Amino acid sequence: MHGDRCVELDGDEPPDSIEADAAWTARAGIVCAVLTADCLPIVVADRHGRGVGVAHAGWRGFAGGVIEALVTAIPIPPADLVAWLGPAIGPAAFEIGPEVRDALMEADPGAASAFHPGTGDRWHADLYELARRRLHALGVQSVEGGGFCTYSDPERFFSHRRASGPTGRMATLAWLDSA
């Protein structure tokens, strides 16, 4: 959806009726899932196994606060959360216009280091750095993953920007084990 809607999955609502860019659960055996093909998948989990969630973070989701929506929805202190950043378009390939940079900077005015000049008025954006900044600002200090570029690695990843037509998606799944 490329937004900031975060839902709690409790098993009561059929999965087909849920539309959101982030989901979390505190119930074992319920799978939280997002599909991506350049956007950043983020998994957030409680170190004590009390909750887990996922977010689909494209630039619109970043600008709209999808990471903040996920972390604040989970009723666990952010210091008890750990995060993992999955494969996404890397900063060398993610070229954006000034309006997108402005939208991303509005939510995090100190994020200038996540952008590097491109051609003309274009910028290269580092989704991994942006996510780490947001997570750290929220109090999530343990952030792992990142560094895989979906655009430049066609053998392993789908990429919306690289594809000349429709492309596949990668699924990021997270759940609490019932054991």
Residue 14 reports pLDDT greater than 80: no
CB atoms within 10 A of CB 146: 20
Residues in contact with 99: Cβ distance below 8 Å, sequence separation at least 6, in sequence order:
none
CA distance 76 to 54: 15
Confirm if 169 and 20 have CB atoms less than 8 A apart. no
Residues in contact with 103: Cβ distance below 8 Å, sequence separation at least 6, in sequence order:
59, 63
The predicted structure's pLDDT at residue 179:
64
User: Which pTM value belongs to this model?
Assistant: 0.94
Fold of 6-89+139-174: CNF1/YfiH-like putative cysteine hydrolases (3.60.140)
Q: What is the DSSP string of 21-55?
A: SEEEESSTTPPEEEEESSSEEEEEEETTSS-EEEE
How do residues 120-146 score in pLDDT, each as one tens digit?
999 999 999 999 999 999 999 999 999
How do residues 53-99 score in pLDDT, each as one tens digit?
999 999 999 999 999 999 999 999 999 999 999 999 999 999 999 99
Choose between 138 and 168: higher pLDDT.
138
How many Å separate Cα 176 from the centre of its chain?
Answer: 19
Residue 64 tokens read as: 């709209």
Report which of 112, 98, 107, 95 is spatially closest to residue 134, judged by C-alpha positions.
Answer: 107
The predicted structure's pLDDT at residue 114:
97
- Domain ranges, ordered by start, for the chain: 6-89+139-174
Reported as a pLDDT band with limits 50, 70 and 90, residue 170 is very high
The predicted structure's pLDDT at residue 178:
80
